[in-house]
Amino acid sequence: MRSNPILSIDTKKRELLGDFFRDGQLITNRALRVFDHDFPSFADGYVIPHGLYDLKRNRGYINLGGSHDTSEFACDSICQWWVTEGQETYPFADSLLLLCDGGGSNSASQLIFKQDLQALANRLRLEIRVAHYPPYTSKYNPIEHRLFPHVARACQGIIFKTPEQVQHYMGQAKTRTGLSVVANIVTKFYETGRKVAEGFKKTMRILFDNVLPRFNYRAVPITG
């Protein structure tokens, strides 16, 4: 029986690395001294968590980027999930449904995301359907209440020093209902300010739905 995956995706705010205060309590053998303000200039770096939540398996997949939150990063994150988990778990899948917000790296209004999405569909040879949540409704995105709160709880009070430390604690998130999480570190650098290829808007193969086409569309793989 064919089963197609449903992924809820979003990017959390970047986490600064260094002596920065984080909500929560820890049992330590000495007091921990931290800055009372999050000054980026004091940081030793940062990570940007891009999350994917598999609704059918109750499983989270987090990629920790170290450069910028771009549409290329978002699409690479989806690709990495498919290569490492998706294609083995859903061997007969012929499409993928993405539930995502309307802004950020997967913006509903930016052509660059649609261009990268089409390239991803071609690479995976999967039809990718996108359903954006309209403005002010992103709180209903499943990832916001089924994954991120539990990841935040697993990291309470932890003073992040390295990407590996963030990876470890985020990967510890779990619930009594069976949530499991895997976290990975992404070292690729992503440039900001990329432009859409000339003529893409006229030639793009994105298929828009009749109902709310701004938020609902499909990227169909181009073969041959």
Rounded-to-integer distance, Cα 133 and Cα 58, Å = 20
- At 113-151, the pLDDT tens digits run 999 999 999 999 999 999 999 999 999 999 999 999 999
Nearest to 121 by CA among 213, 207, 12, 214: 207
pTM for the whole structure = 0.93
Amino acid at 80: Q
- At 58-75, the pLDDT tens digits run 999 999 999 999 999 999
- At 142-195, the pLDDT tens digits run 999 999 999 999 999 999 999 999 999 999 999 999 999 999 999 999 999 999
Q: Could you give the domains of the chain?
A: 6-219 (3.30.420.10)
